[in-house]
């Protein structure tokens, strides 16, 4: 049993009131804890040191944002029905076919663009692809418009 484990079991209040930071680190290290990893985890989670998203993830976000925006914009023009969440919904089989055809066309476009990015050396992993897809799948048209302004601001100005 390590010194720290024994101390905590016997009289932890006295130990923590009297121990120095350096001694505590040394005791934890002797007990087999990796202090560096724990400090890094604490900084990342509690001190808000956020990881920057990778270029690949950002590209995946741009593609899925474009896809969802184009699909919702098209649906807002052709669909006459709405669901309980005020989303545009096809009200007839013809509207459904048009909406579905547009979605497949847009999906093919972003898949082709993903292949082009891969040829340029930007490989979007499946995790990044699915995470970006999930991120934008629940947005309504107004939210997509705001995100679109953010992601494509350098291309529109």
Q: pLDDT (tens digit, 9 = 90+) per residue, 9-19?
A: 666 666 667 77
Look at residue 79 and give its three-state secondary structure.
Answer: coil
Query: What is the average pLDDT value for the chain, to the nearest integer?
Result: 80
Closest to 124 in 3D by CA, of 112, 107, 138, 141: 112
pLDDT digits (tens, 9 = 90+) for 15-73: 667 777 777 777 777 776 666 656 566 555 555 555 677 889 999 999 999 999 999 89
Residue boundaries of the structural domains of the chain? 3-46, 55-156
Q: What distance in Å separates the CA atoms of residue 3 and residue 26, rounded to the nearest whole number?
A: 10
3-class DSSP string for 5-52: HHHHHHHHHHHHHHCCHHHHHHHHHHCCCCHHHHHHHHHHHHCCCCCC
Task: Look at residue 130 and give its three-state secondary structure.
Answer: helix
- Global pTM value: 0.63
């Amino acid at each position: 049993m390590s010194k720290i484990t024994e101390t905590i079991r016997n009289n932890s209040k006295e130990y923590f009131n009297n121990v120095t930071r350096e001694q505590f680190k040394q005791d934890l290290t002797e007990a087999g804890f990796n202090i560096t990893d724990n400090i890094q985890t604490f900084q990342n989670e509690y001190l808000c040191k956020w990881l920057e998203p990778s270029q690949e993830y950002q590209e995946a976000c741009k593609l899925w944002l474009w896809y969802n925006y184009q699909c919702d914009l098209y649906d807002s023009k052709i669909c006459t029905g709405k669901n309980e969440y005020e989303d545009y919904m096809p009200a007839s089989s013809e509207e459904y076919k048009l909406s579905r055809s547009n979605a497949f066309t847009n999906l093919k476009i972003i898949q082709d663009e993903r292949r082009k990015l891969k040829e340029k050396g930007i490989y979007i992993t499946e995790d990044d692809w699915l995470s970006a897809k999930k991120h934008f799948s629940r947005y309504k048209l107004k939210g997509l418009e705001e995100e679109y302004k953010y992601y494509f601001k350098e291309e529109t100005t």
